């Protein structure tokens, strides 16, 4: 086992071939999240460049919630869920986008003061469609995305060109 905490955290990510469809190598962060030291290490690494420069953390359903809640709690700020269509009782805006696999629409309620400084987080940056849609959602509601951060970037899919710059902990 490596003694570098970030290397150890990365080694916990499981690689699952052909999920959720043939040809996709799915990177499952569940074992990393279940390890207390690894979770602490990656959350600190995500927050590091943005020290106290944001008012709230936004995360995209579903795996982004896991990162956003932990980042918000570690930073002493609140958390805003950006949800897939049809889940929120009071959606204020919605944006549709393409995924590495399939298509999706995200929505957000708007209980934030105009001009709120938002740190936007997710687990994975793949094509960048999800985070670009989330940035547009926040912009459309008059908020400022002061940073965008993910646990893991799938570099060959070029997501940084779509929604960058994105602070990334693991590049694969």
CA dist., res. 38 & res. 170, Å (int): 13
Part of the chain binding ligand PRP (CB under 6 A), chosen from 2-10, 51-59, 72-80, 120-128: 120-128
Closest by alpha carbon to 66, among 91, 90, 39?
A: 39
**Residue 10 annotated to the active site:** no
- Closest Cα partner for 46 from 118, 141, 123? 123
| 81 part of the interface to ligand PRP, by CB under 6 A | no
Which of 7, 10, 52, 63 is labelled catalytic? 63
Could you say whether residue 26 binds ligand ADE (CB under 6 A)?
yes
Query: Which of the listed partners (ligand ADE, ligand PRP, none) does 122 bind, with a CB threshold of 5 to 8 Å by partner kind?
Result: ligand PRP
Q: How far is the CB of 2 from ligand PRP (least distance, A)?
A: 26
The yes or no reply on residue 61 touching ligand PRP (CB under 6 A) is yes
Angular region, 169: left φ>0, alpha ψ -120 to 50, beta rest: alpha
User: Which lies closer to ligand ADE via its Cβ, residue 68 or residue 126?
Assistant: 126
Bridge-based pairing of strands 78-84 and 56-60 is parallel
Q: Give the range of 23-31, 46-54, 87-95, 124-132 binding ligand PRP by CB under 6 A.
A: 124-132
122 phi, psi to nearest 5 deg: -150, 170
Give whichever of 5 and 132 is closer to ligand PRP, judged by the CB atom: 132
Name which position in 6, 24, 77, 146 contacts ligand ADE (CB under 6 A).
Answer: 24
What's the min distance (Å) between Cβ of 106 and ligand PRP? 9
Residue 171, token pair as written in the block: 């590049």
| Tokens matching residue 49 | 């460049």
Structure tokens at 79: 């958390």
How far apart are alpha carbons 148 and 48 in whole angstroms?
Answer: 12
* 100 is known as an active-site residue: yes
CA distance 49 to 63: 22
Catalytic residues: 63, 100
Footprint of ligand ADE (CB under 6 A):
24-27, 100, 124, 126, 154
């Amino acid at each position: 086992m490596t003694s570098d905490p970030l290397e150890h955290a990365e080694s916990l990510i499981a690689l699952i071939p052909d999920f959720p469809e043939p040809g996709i190598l799915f990177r499952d962060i569940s074992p990393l999240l279940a390890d207390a030291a690894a979770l602490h290490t990656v959350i600190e690494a995500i927050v590091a460049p943005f020290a106290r420069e944001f008012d709230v953390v936004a995360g995209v359903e579903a795996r982004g919630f896991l990162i956003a809640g932990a980042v918000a709690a570690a930073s002493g700020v609140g958390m805003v869920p950006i949800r897939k269509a049809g889940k929120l009782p009071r959606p204020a805006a919605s944006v549709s986008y393409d995924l590495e696999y399939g298509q999706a629409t995200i929505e957000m309620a708007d209980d934030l003061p105009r001009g709120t400084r938002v740190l936007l987080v997710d687990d994975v940056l793949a094509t960048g469609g999800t985070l670009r849609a989330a940035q547009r959602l926040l912009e459309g509601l008059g908020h400022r995305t002061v940073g965008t951060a993910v646990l893991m970037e799938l570099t060959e899919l070029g997501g940084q060109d779509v929604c960058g710059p994105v602070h990334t902990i693991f590049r694969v």
